[in-house]
Structure 1
Amino acid sequence: MNRLSTSCLLSVLLLGATHQALAQELFIYPDKGQSSDQQAKDKLDCSNWAKTNTGYDPANPATGSVALSEPEQQAGGAVHGAAGGAAFGAIAGDSSEAARRGAVAGAVVGGLRQRRANREAEAEHQQEEQQLVAQSTAKKDDFNRAYAACLEGRGYTVK
């Protein structure tokens, strides 16, 4: 997967988590006959309390998260390999043909090594992204539990 599609995937996942946190409508019933104004005040107070106690804000789920940078794609493996191969070929064969063959072999080996290193860096980056999404989901769940507990403590049934 290339860097652009990985970035798009992470953005979609975080946007989806944000939308889900905001769109996840809890059903709140005023068991003690609270007025609409009292309900609005209690919801705001409980939301603030849940944010303070969980460190998570569903309106801004990326706050407090470690931002991931794109994995650095290295280049030049083939060039370095070619230079080394040419030098080795020149020393070993003492001719321009040997140096050329060494350069070609070095370029191939260097390019293969570089591609493998880039794939490994991309796989590590994807794993870090998955961990970030899982952490965000866990924080959202904590927030929802805290928010519901606060409202229940104020005389509401929350489902």
Structure 2
Amino acid sequence: MKYLTITLCLLVALSSRAVASDTLFIYPAGGQSDAQLAKDRYQCYRWAVDQTGVDPNTLQLPETGQTMVRNKQHGAGNRGFWLGTLAGAALGNALDGHSGGTVDGAIIGASLGNMIGVNKERKGEIAAQQRAQVLANQKAQAAYSYQDRLNDYNRAFSACMEARDYSVR
């Protein structure tokens, strides 16, 4: 069976959780202890989650990789050829009543059946390409939304930490 494959190339940042708050560089500008840093980090984490509705520890990465869509009309040209041959032979025999009509009918039926089947198969390819494009667009939108949500969380977390006299980058 024939498959149409579309590979999505998403941002490298989306393939890992590298943008989560644990990769932010936090400097205790006010001389805070490690214990105070841990307490402030947790409190700011909770506050940022409450403010944004985004928890980077549970936020799911969007699906990446290949999208495979099947052409449901694959092989229609061959089916049309054989069905047209049989139908044309039967019709040619019925109308002419001898083997010459059967052969002529089979040739005409095969040609017409093949043309109809190939056209149907091509329409199936177009439909498969359209379905694949819709899926690719949905994945791209999910990736964009994921990144936006994570950026919102990081901004809120950073604002909280900076308000507690930490330098965040």
TM over 0.5: yes
> Are residues 1:2 and 2:12 paired?
no
1:34 maps to which of 32, 37, 40: 32
Describe the SS at the equivalent of 2:167.
strand
Residue 144 of structure 2 aligns with an amino acid whose one-letter code is A
Shift >6 Å, 4+ stretches: none
Instruction: Identify if the C-alpha distance between structure 1 residues 23 and 153 changes in structure 2 by more than 3 Å, giving closer, same or farther.
Output: closer
> Are residues 1:79 and 2:76 paired?
yes
Instruction: Identify if the C-alpha distance between structure 1 residues 26 and 123 changes in structure 2 by more than 3 Å, giving closer, same or farther.
Output: same
Describe the SS at the equivalent of 1:21.
coil
Q: Which residue of 1 aligns with 2:102?
A: none
Instruction: Identify if the C-alpha distance between structure 1 residues 21 and 153 changes in structure 2 by more than 3 Å, giving closer, same or farther.
Output: same
CA deviation map 1:28-64 (0-9, x unaligned): 222333211011011012112212322223233317x
> Are residues 1:117 and 2:127 paired?
yes
* 2:19/2:150 contact within 8 Å kept: yes
How many Å apart are 1:11 and its aligned residue? 10
Describe the SS at the equivalent of 2:23.
coil
Give the superposed CA RMSD.
3.6
CA deviation map 1:42-91 (0-9, x unaligned): 1012112212322223233317x799xx56534135438828x839x74x
Instruction: Identify if the C-alpha distance between structure 1 residues 11 and 73 changes in structure 2 by more than 3 Å, giving closer, same or farther.
Output: farther
**Runs of 5+ consecutive residues of structure 1 not aligned to the other structure:** none
- Higher strand content, 1 or 2: 2
Which is further off, 141-150 or 98-107?
A: 98-107
CA distance in 2, matches of 1:75, 1:144: 45
> Are residues 1:48 and 2:51 paired?
no
Residue pairs, 1:6-155, within 5 angstroms: 6=8, 9=9, 14-16=14-16, 18=17, 20-22=18-20, 25-62=23-60, 72-76=69-73, 78-79=75-76, 82=80, 86=84, 90=88, 94=92, 95-155=105-165
Q: Who wins on radius of gyration, i.e. which is larger?
A: 2
Taking only the aligned residue pairs, the percentage that are identical comes to 24
**Runs of 5+ consecutive residues of structure 2 not aligned to the other structure:** 93-104
Describe the SS at the equivalent of 1:2.
strand
How many Å apart are 1:118 and its aligned residue? 0.8
How many Å apart are 1:106 and its aligned residue? 1.5
* 1:28/1:157 contact within 8 Å kept: yes
* 1:77/1:107 contact within 8 Å kept: no
- Higher helix content, 1 or 2: 1
Across the two proteins, how many residue pairs are aligned to each other?
A: 151
Question: TM-score of the superposition, structure 2-length normalised?
Answer: 0.69
Describe the SS at the equivalent of 1:112.
helix
